[in-house]
Amino acid sequence: MARIDYIKTRLANWSAWVLSQGSGGMGYPSRSAFLREVSSGGFREATIPVIETDAQEMQQAIDQLKRVHPELHETIWLLYVKAQSYNECARHMGCVLRTVHNRLDQADAWLDRWLADKANRLATERQRKANLLIV
């Protein structure tokens, strides 16, 4: 099974958000973008902006994942927040590399379902409220 691209993107956004929380900034940068210096070569690597609401929604999903599948949560945490390699992750968890890949696939599928279920619940609730306004 292949990884789900939009889940990978959302996990990258979430991990940047988690890591920014530790910098004392509630998700805000520690310095203004206007005050950042250009490196000596004149170029600086672009930073990817963190989308706060997406990151918070992923945090909810990942909290739930931790409760129901702690081994999948650990895999996500080690790879995305601790920035371990696949091999380091396998060593840390005491499993083979294929297991790490399988757990990532499973975590992607689980997160995809969780996000879809949440979207469906919100759509149903909106429709219910719209129906109440019509009557």
User: Is 12 a domain residue?
Assistant: yes
In a domain, 123, yes or no: yes
* Domain residue limits at 117: 5-23+51-134
Please give the single-letter amino acid code of residue 103.
Answer: R
Residue 82 belongs to some domain of the structure: yes
Residue 105 belongs to a domain? yes
Reading the block at residue 91, the tokens are: 């060593």
Cα–Cα dist 135/132, whole Å: 5
**Cβ contact 95:71 at 8 Å:** no
CATH of the domain at 116: 1.10.10.10
- The answer to whether residue 41 sits within a structural domain is no
Could you tell me the pTM of the whole model? 0.76
Residuewise pLDDT in 10s, the chain (135 residues): 789 999 999 999 999 999 988 654 444 554 444 444 444 455 555 555 678 889 999 999 999 999 999 999 999 999 999 999 999 999 999 999 999 999 999 999 999 999 999 999 999 998 888 888 786
